[in-house]
C-alpha cells in the first residue's frame, strides 16, 4: 500500500486552530456557567420570608407574655366573668313588743327604652305604646296618660314604675318583652304616721343601689340597719348576662342589717298621737310635743309632735313636718322649772311644805323687779302654796335661801344644759348660762324658768327624777339591737344620778299634788289635770316667747306646759306636754288628763284608797 502523502501546513492549520480553541489556553482561569433551577429559587425566597415571619411572631409573643400580659389577662377576665351584687336586707325597726314599725320587702322597678319601641314597631309603635301604658297603669295604679307620655317621649331610658311587686313585674314582662326589671327594696311603714317623727323615713338610692335613711332613726342608724352587701363572681355566656351553671369563682355573702327594737309602746303612741291631733285641731297652736316616760326606767313609751308625716306618701310631706321638736327644739320652761328650787330647799332643810311665807306682789333682784302673774298685796302663802299657786316672788324668796351655787349644781344634776343621750338624732342640749356669766339679775330669772331653755324630753326627765325618789335616769328610746341570727344585744343602761334624797322627792311629790286640787279657796293652777280616782302630782308652766328680732319677750305669745306623774304616791308614768303659742288662754293640763286617764284604764292602776284632805296653800 502506498504511503499517505504528507499534509501540507496550510491544510493542517484549521485542525490546529480547532484544537487550540477546544483546549485550555495555557495560563488562563477556567470559567463555568450554571443555570439556577426556578424551583430552588422559590424555596430560598420562601425560607427567607418564613424566617422573617417567625422573628416577628417571636417578638410579638415576647411582648404579649411580658409587657402586655397583665392588661390582656384582666381584659380576658372581664370578658368572661361578671360580678353580681348580693344586696343585704335592711333591718327592721320594732316597738317594745316586737311589732314592726318599719321593714323591707323585695321589689322591682319597671324600665324600658321608648326609642327602641318606636324603631322596632314602626307604624304600630303608637298603638303598642298605648296598649303598654294601659297595661302598666292597670297593674300599678299609675296614671295612664303619664305613662303614655313617657312611652312616646323618644328617650333611651324611662322608668315606668319605681316600686312594684316581683309578681306584677314578671307578669308585665311576659306581656310586654320591652319592659325590663331592676332590683329594688321597698321600705314598708305599716303604721303610717305612727311614731314617724321617731322612726323617720328611708328611700331607694339609685346611685348606691340600696335604701338610704333620710330622717329619724332611719338616718342616724343607717349603717346599722343597712348591713353589708355581698358579691358573687361568675362566668357569663359571651354577649349576654346569662350565668354559666357551676361557674362561681368567688362569693361573699351579704350581711343583713340589724333590727332596732325601741322602747315605744305602739298602742300608747297611737293614742297619744290621736289625742294630740285632736287638740291641735281644737286650739290650733303653732306646734306641740308630748313625751311619756316610764317613771322608773326612763324608757320613752311615747313621743309625739303636733306636726308629723306619713312616710308611705313622700309627695305629701313638707319640710316642717320632718323634724322631731321633742328633742331638737328647746324652749323656756317657765314655772315648770320651780321644782329645782323646791327640791333644793327640801333637800337642804331650808324650807318646810307647811311653812308660811309673807309673799309680796313683787320683789327686786339687782336691777330687775319680779312680779307674780296676778296682782296681790302681801299674802301668807305656805311653801306648798308658793309652788301650787306658782308664785314667782315666793319662789325667788326660797331660791335666795338656797343660794346661787347650790342652785347651779342642782340644774346640772337635773340634766339641764346637757343632752340626755336619748338615742335620737339632732338632740339639743338646751341652754343654761355658765355660772361664770351670771349677772346680778340672773338669779331673778333662772328659778322661775326664764333665761334658760330645755327640750320636752329634758323636761320629762326632770320630773322622772322626782317620780323615781330623787334618782335621775337618762331617758332612752332604743331598747336593743337584734343582729343576724337573732342575737339580741340590750342597749346599756345609763348610769343613774342621785339628785336629791328619797325623802325630799317624796315631800315634793306631795306638794305637787296640790297643783291639781280644787278645794274652795285652796285651788291650784291646774285642777283640769285631775283624774278621777287618782292623785296626780304635776306642775304648770307658762313662759313668754322671745322675738328673735329684738331679743325681747313678746306679750301674748307663750309656751304652755304641764308635766305630771301618775299615780302620785307610787308613780308609774311621767307625762310631759308642751304647747307652742296656743291662741287664747289655753292650758296643757286637759291633754295630760286625757293621756293619763287612758293609761290608768288600760293598765288597771289601783285607785286611791282614800282621798286626802286638801293641802293649805294660803294661811287663813
Q: So what's the pLDDT on residue 86?
A: 79
Tell the CATH topology of 84-106+183-262. Penicillin-binding protein 2a (Domain 2) (3.90.1310)
84-106+183-262 with 266-308+324-479+489-602: one CATH topology? no
Active site residues: 335
- % the chain with pLDDT above 70: 91
Contact present, 608 and 569 (Cβ < 8 Å): yes
Question: Above pLDDT 90, what percent of the chain?
Answer: 69
Per residue in 364-417, pLDDT (tens digit) is: 999 999 999 999 999 999 999 999 999 999 999 999 999 999 999 999 999 999
What's the per-residue H, E or C state across 428-454? CCCECCCHHHCCCCHHHHHHHCCCCEE
pLDDT in tens, 444-467: 999 999 999 999 999 999 999 999
pLDDT, one tens digit per residue, over 469-511 is: 999 999 999 999 999 889 999 999 999 999 999 999 999 999 9
Mean pLDDT across the chain, nearest whole number? Answer: 89
Confidence (pLDDT) at 36: 59
Q: C-alpha grid cell for residue 443?
A: 338669779
Higher pLDDT pick, 35 / 488: 488
Place of cell 369563682: 249
pLDDT at 78 > cutoff 80: no
The DSSP code for 514 is G
Confidence class for position 323, pLDDT limits 50, 70, 90:
very high
Q: pTM of the entire structure?
A: 0.83
pLDDT tier at 326 (50, 70, 90 boundaries)? very high
Return the CATH class of domain 266-308+324-479+489-602: alpha beta
In the chain, where the domains are located? 84-106+183-262, 266-308+324-479+489-602
Q: Do 221 and 213 contact (CB within 8 A), yes or no? A: yes
Q: Are 463 and 564 in contact (CB under 8 A)?
A: yes
Give the closest residue to 451 by CA, choosing from 342, 368, 511, 362: 368
**What is the DSSP secondary-structure string of 74-101?**
HHHHHHHEEEEEEPPPPPPEE-TTS-EE
Distance CA 478, CA 225 (A): 13
How confident is the model at residue 242, as a pLDDT?
Answer: 65
User: Strands 300-305 and 379-382: what pairing?
Assistant: unpaired
Question: Residue 527 carries which DSSP code?
Answer: G
Contact between residue 377 and residue 391 where contact means Cβ atoms under 8 Å apart: no
Amino acid at each position: 500500500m502506498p504511503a499517505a502523502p504528507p499534509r501540507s501546513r496550510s491544510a493542517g492549520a484549521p485542525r490546529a486552530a480547532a484544537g487550540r480553541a477546544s483546549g485550555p489556553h495555557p495560563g488562563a482561569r477556567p470559567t463555568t456557567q450554571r443555570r439556577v433551577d426556578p424551583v430552588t429559587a422559590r424555596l430560598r425566597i420562601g425560607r427567607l420570608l418564613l424566617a422573617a415571619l417567625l422573628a416577628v411572631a417571636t417578638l410579638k409573643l415576647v411582648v404579649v407574655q411580658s409587657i402586655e400580659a397583665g392588661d390582656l389577662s384582666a381584659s380576658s377576665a372581664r370578658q368572661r366573668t361578671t360580678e353580681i351584687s348580693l344586696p343585704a336586707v335592711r333591718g327592721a325597726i320594732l316597738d317594745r313588743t316586737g311589732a314592726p314599725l318599719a321593714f323591707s320587702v323585695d321589689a322591682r322597678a319597671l324600665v324600658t327604652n321608648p326609642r327602641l319601641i318606636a324603631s322596632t314597631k314602626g307604624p304600630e309603635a303608637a298603638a303598642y305604646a298605648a296598649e303598654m301604658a294601659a297595661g302598666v297603669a292597670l297593674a300599678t295604679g299609675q296614671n295612664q296618660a303619664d305613662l303614655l307620655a313617657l312611652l312616646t317621649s323618644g328617650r333611651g331610658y324611662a322608668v315606668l314604675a319605681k316600686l312594684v311587686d316581683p309578681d306584677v313585674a314578671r307578669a308585665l314582662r311576659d306581656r310586654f318583652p320591652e319592659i325590663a326589671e331592676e332590683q329594688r327594696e321597698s321600705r314598708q311603714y305599716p303604721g303610717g304616721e305612727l311614731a314617724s317623727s321617731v322612726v323617720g323615713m328611708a328611700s331607694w338610692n339609685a346611685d348606691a343601689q340600696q335604701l338610704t335613711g333620710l330622717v329619724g332613726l332611719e338616718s342616724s342608724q343607717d349603717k346599722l340597719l343597712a348591713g353589708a352587701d355581698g358579691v358573687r363572681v361568675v362566668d357569663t355566656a359571651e354577649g349576654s348576662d346569662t350565668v354559666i351553671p357551676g361557674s362561681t369563682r368567688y362569693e361573699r355573702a351579704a350581711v343583713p342589717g340589724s333590727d332596732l327594737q325601741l322602747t315605744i309602746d305602739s298602742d300608747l303612741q297611737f293614742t297619744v298621737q290621736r289625742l294630740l291631733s285632736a287638740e291641735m285641731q281644737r286650739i290650733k297652736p303653732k306646734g306641740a310635743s308630748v313625751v311619756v316616760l316610764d317613771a322608773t326606767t326612763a324608757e320613752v313609751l311615747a313621743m309625739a309632735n303636733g306636726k308629723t308625716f306619713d312616710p308611705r306618701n313622700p309627695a305629701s310631706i313638707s319640710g316642717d313636718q320632718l323634724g322631731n321638736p321633742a328633742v331638737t327644739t328647746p324652749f323656756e320652761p317657765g314655772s315648770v322649772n320651780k321644782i329645782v328650787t323646791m327640791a333644793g330647799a327640801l333637800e337642804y332643810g331650808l324650807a318646810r311644805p307647811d311653812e308660811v311665807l309673807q309673799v309680796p306682789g313683787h320683789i327686786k333682784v339687782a336691777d330687775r323687779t319680779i312680779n307674780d302673774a296676778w296682782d296681790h298685796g302681801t299674802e301668807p302663802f305656805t311653801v306648798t302654796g308658793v309652788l301650787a299657786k306658782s308664785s314667782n316672788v315666793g319662789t325667788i324668796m326660797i331660791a335666795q335661801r338656797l343660794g346661787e351655787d347650790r342652785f347651779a349644781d342642782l340644774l346640772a344634776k337635773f340634766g339641764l344644759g346637757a343632752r340626755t343621750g336619748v338615742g335620737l338624732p339632732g338632740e339639743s342640749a338646751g341652754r343654761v348660762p355658765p355660772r361664770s356669766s351670771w349677772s346680778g339679775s340672773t338669779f331673778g330669772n333662772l328659778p322661775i324658768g326664764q333665761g334658760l331653755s330645755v327640750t320636752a324630753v329634758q323636761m320629762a326627765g326632770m320630773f322622772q327624777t322626782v317620780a323615781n325618789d330623787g334618782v335621775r335616769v337618762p331617758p332612752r328610746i332604743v331598747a336593743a339591737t337584734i343582729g343576724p341570727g337573732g342575737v339580741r344585744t340590750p342597749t346599756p343602761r345609763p348610769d343613774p344620778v342621785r339628785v336629791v334624797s328619797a325623802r325630799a322627792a317624796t315631800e315634793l311629790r306631795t306638794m305637787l299634788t296640790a297643783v291639781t286640787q280644787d278645794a274652795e279657796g285652796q285651788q291650784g293652777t291646774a285642777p283640769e289635770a285631775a283624774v278621777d280616782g287618782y292623785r296626780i302630782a304635776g306642775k304648770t308652766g307658762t313662759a313668754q316667747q322671745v322675738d328673735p328680732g329684738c331679743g325681747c319677750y313678746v306679750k301674748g305669745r307663750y309656751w304652755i306646759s304641764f308635766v305630771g306623774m301618775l299615780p302620785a304616791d307610787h308613780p308609774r308614768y311621767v307625762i310631759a306636754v308642751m304647747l307652742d303659742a296656743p291662741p287664747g288662754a289655753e292650758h296643757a293640763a286637759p291633754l295630760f288628763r286625757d293621756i293619763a286617764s287612758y293609761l290608768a284604764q288600760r293598765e288597771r292602776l289601783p285607785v286611791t284608797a282614800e282621798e286626802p284632805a286638801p293641802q293649805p296653800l294660803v294661811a287663813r
